[in-house]
Amino acid sequence: MTLRSQKPGSRKPFLLVVCRQPGTIADDELRMVAKWGGLEVGTTLHTLNVLPREQPPEADVETDAAQGNYDGGQGETRAPQIDPKDAETEAKTGEYGAQSVAGNGRFQWDDAGECPVDLRDYAGVIISGSPYSYGTQPASDDEFKTPAHLQMERRVQELCRHLLAADFPTLGICYGMQSLAIAGGAALCADFPEDLQAPWVSLTPEGMRDGLTRSLPQRFEAYVGHSESLAGVPEGSVVLATGDFCPLQIVRWGNNVYGTQFHPEITTAGMRIRIDTYGETYYPADEKARVQARCDRADVRAANHLISEFARRYR
């Protein structure tokens, strides 16, 4: 299944796929993606919440904000249905990959329902982080995943398979990158967890040539916070950046699908929100001041630039 190239100079909006409950962190994530992308929420940045309305157990960790519809003003979110028949591709490629690709078609969620979006209407997709994890133990699904959690995984996986097959412009952030990897047949592991901090990320030679990442410094700081990561280089992908501890920090599939283990959307203020919200998830409560101090010292502006470049490249 493939997608049709958009015309150069088009100004289609981007789609932010939200993989978390509405509230403080989701609001900050949307606001920062819009800011770094130079986008306007509801006009040039739309949102799709793939998380069912059932309250997951992680929500108490994620946010204490009141629950409600979080769809960027686009109307009530419904379970998508996309049919891939009769789609085409006209990918515009070059030395550093495709310059611009847009989508065609609707696909079918396994839980049915009409999709509220059609990728033909979008310049690119950004998949958010999430408080959820996929779990690296075989029995993990039965042990801790709610029906809502499992349904969200199925929806995100179907979307990611569609995006990978189509080589549709995509930026998967943390959980989004892991979702792309699993959809492409790769595995996750718990060998390289990173708590709330800003490690150094280094571009590989491929990263210094890639059309999206070559404008970044060869070495820069970026905020992280994850328990799982890619277990190895996914088949058919290229490693664009590595970390001093977690080895896979930016990966590209095809010409247009990118994933980052770090969070390019988070600012210093945004990291403070996460430090307050996650409490003892990543660190003991009495270490909060130390964690905040080390995060405050980091300069992550280069990492933020990745979203700016993604929006500029594909809009």
Interval 254-287: pLDDT, tens: 999 999 999 999 999 999 999 998 867 888 888 9
Among candidate residues 194, 185, 140, 138, the one with its CA nearest the CA of residue 161: 185
* pLDDT at residue 6 tops 60: no
User: In the predicted model, what is the mean pLDDT of the chain?
Assistant: 79
The pLDDT value recorded for residue 22 is: 87
Looking at residue 229, what is its pLDDT? 95
Give the ranges where 2-83 is alpha helix by DSSP (H). Answer: 24-37, 59-62
* Mean of pLDDT values over 110-137: 79
Summarize the confidence of residues 240-259 as an average pLDDT. Answer: 97
- The SS3 call for residue 232 is coil
Looking at residue 285, its pLDDT comes to: 86
Percent of the chain whose pLDDT exceeds 70: 74
Give strand pairing partners of 15.
46, 125
Per-residue pLDDT at 246 exceeds 70: yes
Range scoring the smallest mean pLDDT among 134-138, 256-260, 308-312? 134-138
Query: Token pair for residue 280?
Result: 């003892």
Which residue from 111, 110, 104 is spatially nearest to 85, judged by alpha carbons? 104
Nearest to 228 by CA among 187, 199, 273: 187
Confidence of residue 63 (pLDDT cuts 50, 70, 90): very low
Q: How many CB atoms lie within 10 A of CB 300?
A: 23
Specify the amino acid at residue 132: Y
Q: Report the predicted TM-score, pTM, of the whole model to 2 decimal places.
A: 0.80
Closest CA to 307 of 265, 253, 245, 255: 265
Pairing assessment for the beta strands 170-173 and 257-260 based on DSSP bridges: parallel
Residue 74: the pLDDT is 28
- 250 pLDDT exceeds 70? yes
In percent, the amount of the chain with pLDDT more than 90 equals 58
- pLDDT the model gives residue 59: 35
More confident residue, 12 or 7: 12
Say yes or no to pLDDT of 37 above 80: yes
- Average pLDDT of 50-70? 41
| Distance, CA of 133 to CA of 252 (rounded, Å) | 21
Beta carbons of 304 and 264 less than 8 angstroms apart: yes
Residue 136: per-residue pLDDT: 58
Confidence tier at 3 by pLDDT (50, 70, 90): very low
* Structure confidence by residue, pLDDT tens digits, 145-196: 888 888 888 889 889 998 999 999 999 999 999 999 999 999 999 999 999 9
Place of tokens 């962190």: 25
Measured in whole angstroms, the distance separating CA 250 from the mean position of its chain's CA atoms is: 12
Task: Work out the pLDDT band at 115, boundaries 50, 70, 90.
Answer: low
